[in-house]
Structure 1
């Protein structure tokens, strides 16, 4: 039976659609005893959300145990009653996302009209969950100071999480490689993390890193996010797609009380100090972040609404230092030691005239008094960067009955960044990004032991990046390498325009200009939870339809690489890279999984989790049969690309079984827990465009050697010169799904309050 048929059968057989409630909810469980310590069966347990008034009911089983799964995060009251006993009430229990809180109740002999109320929070140490996670609670999200109010920076509060942003491909700030913060978790690559907003994937878009976050490099929404949990490793079969961290984000929801806020945060340069390269005054800087939030009931105990809007506006001057041709070089003279062949004898002036290229105006003139390094000098600059980032969230919660509830949410982040390139005063990088997530979820309680939830969601991220000569500068007046385009990238003594290592600073356009990506993800998740004795069974299905429409061809404006400053002045390009006909490609895939999980509460001190997840992918397919990949039969790269509907010659991701095992043991008290786990995790590939978008015949990159500047511009429609060579690229045609084996062993001890 195919995976598609199996998933379809699952949808049909289950009494509805069941989703991953554990991703965005919590659970309560425990035991009920009498004064002698004997377990009490048949006691009624009533759990009430103190924010919304929602009520869930169950009864203790023959062993005196109860479980109430799939509870929204929030404040709860637990009530236990049985004939012949007084009623016990526990209040002030705060449940966090992914938490399983044990609340044991003790009934005293008496009448049911008598009550004993105890105010007690859930335990600090979660002694029953086998997942290794790091919760960032509501107080931390709201109260800890954050530069830029990017709440994902709080991920580093969890052990094993490192902010990798400053090491990412493409550098920092605006980049064609990534926008949001990058985190390495437990040694995994940042691309292997999965962000889930109310259970639906929260994706970014860029050339090759898809972490969410605006062009401001901030993940806004401090007032919209209630809390988030970082599952680091050894997590259960309910989670997958990527083997890194699973970041579970839950938005705020409305309650029976009306709440609102109005805020502004200001950061400027008033207390800044000058750095070594700054002029006599501190560079200007002003960042304003302002917004408002409002939540409350539309109908008491039934309908609740929450909304939040936030804006970020930033104007920043940053001092940069360009390495540029010095005054002599701009007039065509170089020191004898830089000239090939070296003149003999060298003129008394020590300078040799080699020529003057019109491209020299792509670099600014040296700053007054700048040092001379022999053909090279410095140009100081202090350009203005502007950032706009607009963020909004709205959420509606509806309680139909104690057995039926629904919530819907929508989040949008729309941003733009205009950054003068810090190594080239005459060029500006521009990035625009819009990220959206919509979720609809319905939860139905069939009985005290059977629960059913349905969720569908849509995620989209649309991205544009270009780096071009700044209008009004001398570089903008230069003719392009290709007719009708801006001047391309200029590299002297270096490799690529994306690599800042070169003899002098880069000039012209960014080699990765005019890039566009639009990712659309349609998610359908289903899950059923069934409690039977000491076992809590979970069965679920997850399917995701994936689209990525991409224009990621490099060298769209061309890249001219000069071997030295001398060849630049002589107008002799060592290698010219260009793509005469960039084409949008439309990638498609389907990802899916079936899973089963059994959580066995063997005793109050021991919990065992056994799970199996089976994932699959249909590969990396182009909607119009334009998947081009260079294969290498017999270890020899083919001279012509293989063209078809998929970049793969075979799909090795049809059957990816993943066992998961976890143990949580509390041998001494509820203050100590020992956790051990093992899991196998696969990495479903959903960002291969930057490897597959740059191949002939749809996006050919030609390498043309020894080109005179006088031959430019080239005609994109003219025949390719006979001396040009194609630059091949691609992915392994029989790629195996990356697989991670994870073992963990941890001891957690709560210290005295």
Structure 2
């Protein structure tokens, strides 16, 4: 016995040393089971034998009760267990309990002194619906919900939105928790980190372009932790989503499925219907999703396998519709033959094209119960996504102006669980992942932009940032030790994650021309609105640098210790501490321009934030001792990652690694460059434009978040509970990007058509000037240099946020053929507009900058993710009980049907009224608010959607069945606003006088809504 124990200890430390490199988390792939054993006089029974057996896999674990009659079995795989308790002088008794991911199921066993054997009851779940041991705010989405609820696109992560405290983030594919942006969340799959640390999203950028990384058929269940979770979880300040995949069991099970969607079954969008023909036609949309799964025993009770394949074939049409129609003729200045060729060429650029979302996903998993004390699980998943023409498409972009967006991810996770003694359990885990994001270009010609007074009218030629690549490789190892002693459950663990990242982003390396009209293009005459307008730009790699290539690697180190202390059978105290450090590879190139150094700007180096200690505290109080009413609360400090896209930008945008030359019409003429040619090397004798740099502030640190919660949960019936909780989240030191190269503004008068002029601060040298007042323009210029600087973007920690919420959750677990989850959140989110993903000096990124860089206080208002009211109801109703109805017509009508659905109703998202131009003269035209109107003053209309699934099950044999499925998303075809006109004014400077003209279309809908009604049909073969 002693020798066997020493072997186990040796194995544990061998695994620990080998794995001393990932996530230190116990129970991330399962849960725990606890209980109290009493006799029929309510006295506790000590030293009773407790044996649990997994109903599906035969896994067994044993322990004994303490003197207080309690027992606890940690680190159990999620599943259904039979709990058998025996003690001398009492009748052996078996009860059934369900262990869900991240939860501690509790059962109360009452042994009888009767000598008559009691029938074993294994038909009903004996565990309490109220989890008396939980201190954090979390919600579990169970296997039945994942399998049976309707989901548009089969992305199981959409089910995260079923839980309270979760909103949709404005950035596609993300969700918001605690009033924070999506970069603050973390996703675990089978205990392994599944985040793309470069983009700050999930691996494969699920929901952004790729539809999903894991098949819905491979997911067993998951838990959404939204507030005050344990020290074993780190690197997230928002929500932590913990997912486990399915495993094989002692019985063979599987399915084959086919889902089909066609535009003939769908409704048209209300905005599209309002457009003139032919743009008002319902878009063609055809989606096919198909695949299957199979799992079972290789050796009963010992070795199991599970495999899934999931494929999608989808094509979405793009109708190219320039804002200004292609002309049928030009002025006499254009020779007739040139006019004819140009018109024919332009018409070719308006040819419709297809967006392709084609994907194949595979997962294989093996579970091996080596012996009663050792269990090994290995899982491999691959995603192959081919995104045709997804690089930069849209109604004014031709097929030549886009390219393919392809994603390939591979993840491998291995975990071994060793039971050293009944009270000492070790979990070791090794993980590897590779996420490759490739963007291709459909053209080698330079980007060509044709403008009009309305803005960009038609774009063709090479997309200005393709081809590109971002590849992230990760290695992680973890080890966690759990020790149960008396009323304490101690855990300690460590985790290291090593990310090796390659990023290639050649923005404008292929050249970009601008023409002010179709006729200027016909004459090959690059032109703009005014003599200072940029008509051509091209970027080049600096000498002796990596150019647009960067390697923003990170190494992440973490450890934790914690204790669950059951002070009494009614009161539990949780306390722990976690340490996290994200060590970033520092930007290697120093721009030693004395003017920058004088301002304290150093483009090389980065302060490493190595003091991130995060205490956690929580409690749960079984108020009346009956397990039906629990008061729980907690507090914790959390640290979030800095996305490596921020670090990578500082690696290249230092004024030396990448140099972008910009030319006015007159400057371009002096070089002799003609359309469509590009420079092979930087031309000599050219005065470079003002450089724009990105760099870290000297004291930059990782974001910090405080979380606190207090709530009460009450069992209403055995299978129904109600919880009401207060949630608090406070974000400090949040990342923002800010232009620091500005002098103090001066007040100027702005005319407002039909109204009284207003006085605003403007960053100009004098009223009417178009030159922004830049600090570096006034510092001495070193001899022999002609470099000037424009916007100097600093990554800093001046963002903050606060979130208050009242969360209500009504949960009915599956019984009497019905389950539902109702979640309502009443919340308020306030911030000063932090954002971790502003990394370019133009386009959508700079529109998210603060409106006034030197007066951040004016940004404090409703957050972009502020949704005051959010109601979500999800339900599954199995009508199979109808086969027992005495009424034959009712039996025939209802038997074999299942009804499930999701009802969502939320407040509209907020937006700001904008001035329609660069009103304050800071060089950023897309973020200036209308005078005297605060940020996010207005809201879009409320969002409401009814999603419904109807399933008819047709038995073939006792083991085989066919399921016919019809799903409708947004069943009543409500028009849910998305795009609205946010410009309250049009801004111009006639005669050099800033003037605002009110727009009559302010707040009107100017784009398609969110998902008109979609109907999907499917068939499954299940065994």
- Does TM, normalized by the shorter one, top 0.5? yes
Contact 2:98 2:105 in 1 (8 A): no
The residue aligned with 2:526 is 571
Paired position in structure 1 for 2:63:
58
Q: Provide the TM-score with structure 1 as the length reference.
A: 0.82
- Of 680, 684, 687, the residue aligned with 1:723 is 687
CA distance in 2, matches of 1:298, 1:381: 55
The CA deviation string for residues 664-716 of structure 1, in whole angstroms up to 9 with x for no partner, is: 22324534332221111111224225532532433333334444476143323
- Asked if the contact 1:86/1:115 (under 8 Å) is kept, the reply is no
* 1:27 equivalenced with 2:32 (yes/no): yes
Provide the residue aligned with 2:330 in structure 1: 331
Query: After alignment, is 194-203 or 44-53 more displaced?
Result: 194-203
Q: Secondary structure at the match of 1:156?
A: helix
Relative to structure 1, the CA distance from residue 448 to residue 312 in structure 2 (aligned partners, 3 Å threshold; closer, same or farther) is same
| 2:706 counterpart residue number | 741
Which shows bigger deviation, 686-695 or 12-21?
12-21
Correspondence 1:60-209 to 2 at 5 A: 60-91=65-96, 93-110=97-114, 116-117=120-121, 119-121=123-125, 122-164=127-169, 167-168=170-171, 181-204=173-196, 209=201
Which whole-Å CA distance do the structure 1 matches of 2:262 and 2:651 have between them?
Answer: 42
Is the Cα–Cα contact under 8 Å of residues 603 and 696 in structure 2 kept in the other structure? no
- 2:44 aligns with one of 16, 39, 46: 39
Q: 1:465 deviation in Å?
A: 1.8
Query: 1:270 offset after TM fit, Å?
Result: 1.7
Q: Does the 8 Å CA contact 1:283/1:382 hold for their aligned counterparts? A: no
CA–CA distance in 2 between the matches of 1:633 and 1:599? Answer: 53
User: Contact 2:103/2:134 (CA < 8 Å) preserved in 1?
Assistant: yes
Distance 1:578 1:217, change over 3 A: farther
Is 1:388 the equivalent of 2:388?
no
Partner of 2:309: 309
Whole-Å separation in 2 of the counterparts to 1:535 and 1:454: 22
- Distance (whole Å) between structure 2 residues aligned to residue 195 and residue 658 of structure 1: 19
Q: Deviations over 1:443-489 (max 9, x none)?
A: 111112111110010111100124544xxxxxxxxxxxxxxx42125
Deviation at 1:566, TM superposition (A): 8.5
Q: Name the stretch that deviates more: 661-670 or 284-293.
A: 661-670
Cα 1:239/1:207, change in 2 over 3 Å: closer
Deviation of the 1:103 alpha carbon: 0.9
Task: Deviation per CA, 1:8-34: give whole Å up to 9, x if none.
Answer: xx9789799694222111000011111
Q: Cα–Cα, structure 1 residues 399 and 522, in superposed 2: closer, same or farther, change >3 Å?
A: same
Given the alignment of the two structures, is residue 239 of structure 1 paired with residue 233 of structure 2, yes or no? yes
Q: 2:685 aligned with 1:685, yes or no?
A: no
1:492 matched to 2:464 = no
Deviates more, 1:251-260 or 1:550-559: 550-559
Is the partner of 1:603 in helix, strand or coil?
coil
Report what 1:676 is aligned to: 633
Q: Give, in whole Å, the separation in 1 of the partners of 2:623 and 2:614.
A: 29
**Do 1:60 and 1:66's aligned partners in 2 also have CA atoms closer than 8 Å?**
yes
In structure 2, do the counterparts of structure 1 residues 727 and 299 end up closer, same or farther at CA, with 3 Å as the change threshold? same
2:555 matched to which residue of 1?
590
Once residues 296 and 395 of structure 2 are traced to their aligned partners in structure 1, the CA distance between those partners, rounded to angstroms, is 47
The worse-fitting range, judged by mean Cα deviation, of 701-710 and 17-26 is 701-710
Match of 2:623 in 1: 667
Structure-to-structure mapping, 1:477-556, within 5 angstroms: 485-488=444-447, 490=449, 492=451, 502-556=455-509
SS at match of 1:98: coil
For the 8 Å contact 2:91–2:118, the answer to whether it is kept is: yes
Secondary structure of 2:382's match? strand
SS in 1 for 2:321: strand
In structure 2, what is the equivalent of residue 474 of structure 1?
Answer: none
Judged with a 3 Å threshold, the aligned counterparts in structure 2 of structure 1 residues 410 and 189 are, in CA distance, closer, same or farther, namely same
Give 3-state SS (helix, strand or coil) of 2:484's partner. strand
Query: Distance between the aligned counterparts of 1:103 and 1:527, measured in 2?
Result: 26
Could you list the per-position Cα deviations for residues 186-226 of structure 1 after superposition, in whole angstroms to 9, with x for gaps in the alignment? 21211111111101111348766455427433344111000
The Cα of 1:585 is off from its aligned counterpart by 2.0
After superposition, give the CA deviation of every residue in 1:244-299 in whole Å (9 maximum; x if it has no partner). Answer: 21111110000000111111111111223454246496443221111111100000
Q: CA RMSD in A?
A: 3.4
**Counterparts of 2:685 and 2:324, CA distance in 1:** 32
Cα distance in structure 2, aligned partners of 1:731 and 1:11: 40
Q: CA deviation at 1:51?
A: 0.8
Of the candidates 416, 420, 431, which is equivalent to residue 405 of structure 2? 431
SS of residue matched to 2:695 = coil
TM-score, reference length from structure 2? 0.61
Partners of 2:592 and 2:25 in 1: CA distance: 37
Q: Hey, what does 1:418 align to over in structure 2?
A: 388
Q: Identify which of 613, 620, 636 aligns with 1:657.
A: 613
Q: C-alpha offsets along residues 615-672 of structure 1, whole Å, 9 cap, x if unaligned?
A: 11222346xx56879999777275xx644xxx41x31x11210011112223245343
Q: Report the secondary structure of 2:146's partner residue.
A: helix
| Contact 1:694 1:700 (8 Å CA) reproduced | no
Gaps of 5+ in 1: 1-9, 173-180, 334-351, 368-378, 470-484, 495-500
Structure 1 position 694 matched with structure 2 position 698: no
Aligned mate of 1:458, from 416, 426, 432: 432
CA distance in 2, matches of 1:630, 1:538: 52
**Cα separation, partners in 2 of 1:720 and 1:199, compared to 1, 3 Å:** farther
Query: How far apart are the structure 2 equivalents of 1:49 and 1:326?
Result: 69
Task: Quickly say closer, same or farther: Cα 1:31–1:16, change in 2 above 3 A.
Answer: farther
Aligned-residue offset at 1:557: 1.6
Separation (CA, whole Å) in 2 of partners of 1:284 and 1:220: 27
User: Are residues 1:213 and 2:206 paired?
Assistant: yes
2:402 is paired with a residue of what secondary structure? strand
Which of 414, 428, 434 pairs up with 1:440? 414
**For residues 142 and 461 of structure 1, do their structure 2 counterparts lie closer, same or farther at Cα, with a shift above 3 Å needed?**
same
User: How far apart are the structure 2 equivalents of 1:698 and 1:715?
Assistant: 18
User: Does the 8 Å CA contact 2:318/2:394 hold for their aligned counterparts?
Assistant: no
Shift, 1:238, TM fit: 0.5
Cα distance change, pair 663–705 in 1 and its aligned pair in 2 (3 A): farther
C-alpha displacement of 1:354: 13
TM-aligned CA deviation for residue 119 of structure 1: 3.9
Conservation of the 8 A alpha-carbon contact between 1:630 and 1:729: no
Alignment pair present for 1:397 and 2:389: no
Aligned residues: 670
Corresponding residue for residue 748 of structure 2: none
- Go from structure 1 to structure 2 and tell me whether the alpha carbon gap of 1:22 and 1:422 turns closer, same or farther (over 3 Å shift): farther
Q: Deviations over 1:485-514 (max 9, x none)?
A: 4212526379xxxxxx93424443333222
Please give the alpha-carbon distance, in whole angstroms, between the structure 1 residues aligned to 2:15 and 2:325. 73
Distance 1:355 1:678, change over 3 A: farther
Distance 1:630 1:692 in 2: 16
Change in Cα spacing, 1:519 to 1:254, as seen in structure 2 (3 Å) is: same
* Shift in Å, 1:431: 0.2
1:733: Cα distance to partner? Answer: 4.1
Distance 1:720 1:228 in 2: 60
CA distance in 1, matches of 2:594, 2:222: 43
**Who is 1:711 aligned against?**
673
Deviations 1:68-91 (A, max 9, x none): 000001111101011111101012
Aligned partner of 1:477 in structure 2 is none
The answer for the alignment partner of 2:300 in structure 1 is 300
